[in-house]
Structure 1
Amino acid sequence: MRIPIAVAAVVIWILITVWGVWTPHDPTSLTAGISGGIAWQIVGAGAFLLVVVLALGWRDIGFNAPRPWSSLRVLAFPAIYIALFVAAAALVGLPAPSVVFFLAINTLAVGFSEEIAFRGVLFRALHTRLRLWPAIWITSIVFGSVHVVNGFTTGDFLNASIQALAAFMSGTFFMALVLRTRSIVPSMLFHALWDFLLTTIGAGGASSAAGGDRHWWLLLVPPLFILPNFIYGLWLLRKVKDTGPAQ
């Protein structure tokens, strides 16, 4: 019974998240969409899932400290990415303080909302009936596929599809963080920090990205960029036993 409820909750979460995106509007970049004010639909979607989790008493989502704390050492490799992002942001230049503020609030909301939706609600429900690896792959595939809806915001479904592939790879890495730390909190915070730094770099260098022809090979950049994290995530998961259903 938990899987249908979880799937319904994630579907409602998607509808709340994309509220207003389906109506006619001028295409805009994802960064522009979260840099001019608080994205209340994202905040609301995350709040909705939190209410569902608390109301149904799902205590296995992972709202606890890492167990053990030493498990946070798995963040050593991805921390290299963060250091490079910080350096890139310094080189490109920061956008206006108000933009940085809204990007911080909204990417924190995205990290919380997406992690609770997929590595929390969906994965934990699937794992009540499926073995570990099928639950991981289904969760990551669904997480990646959902990013195709970004095409309604940007007007570029080809790029959104490539982003979906990159999201699938990132989702597998985030899944590894959850399982190795036995907590969803590190993946939420890392997810938020990753998005914040990338969007800050994008906002700071927005003027240089306007215009020009798009070369087909540039579409390969996001998945190739994520590939090391994907491989690292699979490496981390090698120590996770392929257990049977959790319940």
Structure 2
Amino acid sequence: MAAKIRIPLAFAALAVWIAIMFWGAWLPHETASLAEGVTSSISTSIVAASVFLVILVVAMRWWDIGFNAPRPWNSLRVLIGPAVYLVLFFIGTLLVGWPAPHTVLILAVNTLLVGFSEETMFRGVLFRGLRSGIPFWPAVWLTSVIFGSVHVLNATGTGDLIASVTQAVTAFMAGTFFLALVLRTRSIVPAILFHACWDFLLVTIASSMPDPGPIEPSLTSLLLPLLLDIPLFIYAIFLLRGIARQESENGSSAATTTA
């Protein structure tokens, strides 16, 4: 599909996706933490957003999004370092204890849908749309900035703007890593699964810890999420530089062959 059509379609899809994910958020409602939102029941908005993306991808035949096995399989070695996070988070869940089984099931479904929905929308539809018309690095940064910015809207549900802005910054860094993972493995599936596991384990820990009641956000509580994501962000830049160099070399080779 021509770039002049695909880029506007990608942004139109993003607008629809945001409307679905946050529908009703402008209506009067009680605020709740993100953990409460994904452990109380299956989120109809996340389900609807996921269904919308499936229909969109199939209808538009956007097969380049990457719903295939990693190519090659040994590209998954890029996950060896980041997997340490998941191991540590799992140990954390053992220390604080697990929620009730039905809560774990609800959380597992919701986080898997979030992983699918967010990766498909941003690292799939949006990034591939941008790449059809703009260079590599601008597409990378624009995708990550938009992904991070959307998380500010979580304040409509939680009522905590400071926490949402902090989450937006961490989402920008994590989103850059997820994009590097998609490009390095040539598949969106590892990013979906890693994203889902990351959210599942962190929310499990948060929902199992005693409720401290209403407290003012401290510097530590704001900086800790950032410190967790900074190593992933640095690693993502390392991976993306290699990918950009390969694309440049492949482009130069193709130009030489054509000439």
Give the Å deviation of 1:239.
Answer: 1.3
Deviations 1:26-70 (A, max 9, x none): 110001011111101101101101111110111100001000000
Residue among 167, 176, 189 paired with 2:180: 176
Does residue 100 (structure 1) correspond to residue 100 (structure 2)? The answer is: no
Partners of 2:211 and 2:33 lie apart in 1 by: 14
Does residue 23 (structure 1) correspond to residue 32 (structure 2)? The answer is: no
Q: Residue 95 of structure 1: SS of its match in structure 2?
A: coil
Alignment partner, residue 225 of structure 2: 222
Partners of 2:205 and 2:49 lie apart in 1 by: 26
Which residues of 2 match residues 3-14 of structure 1 at below 5 A? 3-14=7-18
Partners of 2:158 and 2:150 lie apart in 1 by: 15
Alignment partner, residue 65 of structure 2: 61
Which residues of 2 match residues 109-124 of structure 1 at below 5 A? 109-124=113-128
The letter of the residue matching 1:109 is: L
- After superposing the two structures, state which structure 1 stretch, 212-221 or 84-93, moved more: 212-221
Q: Residue 21 of structure 1: SS of its match in structure 2?
A: coil
Alignment partner, residue 159 of structure 1: 163
Alignment partner, residue 39 of structure 1: 43
Of all paired residues, the percent bearing the same amino acid is 53
Does residue 49 (structure 1) correspond to residue 53 (structure 2)? The answer is: yes
Partners of 2:216 and 2:122 lie apart in 1 by: 36
- Normalized per residue, the structure richer in helix is 2
What's the Cα RMSD here? Answer: 1.3
Give the Å deviation of 1:21.
Answer: 2.0
Deviations 1:164-215 (A, max 9, x none): 000000000000100000000000000001000001111111x243244432
The letter of the residue matching 2:24 is: G
Partners of 2:162 and 2:67 lie apart in 1 by: 36
Alignment partner, residue 70 of structure 1: 74
Partners of 1:28 and 1:59 lie apart in 2 by: 37
Deviations 1:119-145 (A, max 9, x none): 000000000011111111100000000
Structure 1 residue runs of 5 or longer lacking an equivalent are: none
Residues 1:7 and 1:212: Cα distance change in structure 2 (over 3 Å): closer
Residues 1:56 and 1:32: Cα distance change in structure 2 (over 3 Å): same
Deviations 1:59-95 (A, max 9, x none): 1000010000000000001110000000000000111
Residue among 210, 213, 221 paired with 2:213: 210
Give the Å deviation of 1:241.
Answer: 2.5
Residue among 133, 139, 153 paired with 1:135: 139
Partners of 1:128 and 1:212 lie apart in 2 by: 46
Partners of 1:60 and 1:167 lie apart in 2 by: 24
Q: TM-score, length-normalised on structure 1?
A: 0.95
Residue among 82, 86, 89 paired with 1:82: 86
Q: Residue 137 of structure 2: SS of its match in structure 1?
A: helix
Does residue 241 (structure 1) correspond to residue 244 (structure 2)? The answer is: yes
Partners of 2:89 and 2:213 lie apart in 1 by: 21
Partners of 1:148 and 1:74 lie apart in 2 by: 30
How many residue pairs were aligned?
Answer: 244
The letter of the residue matching 1:235 is: F
Partners of 1:221 and 1:200 lie apart in 2 by: 17
Partners of 2:212 and 2:62 lie apart in 1 by: 44
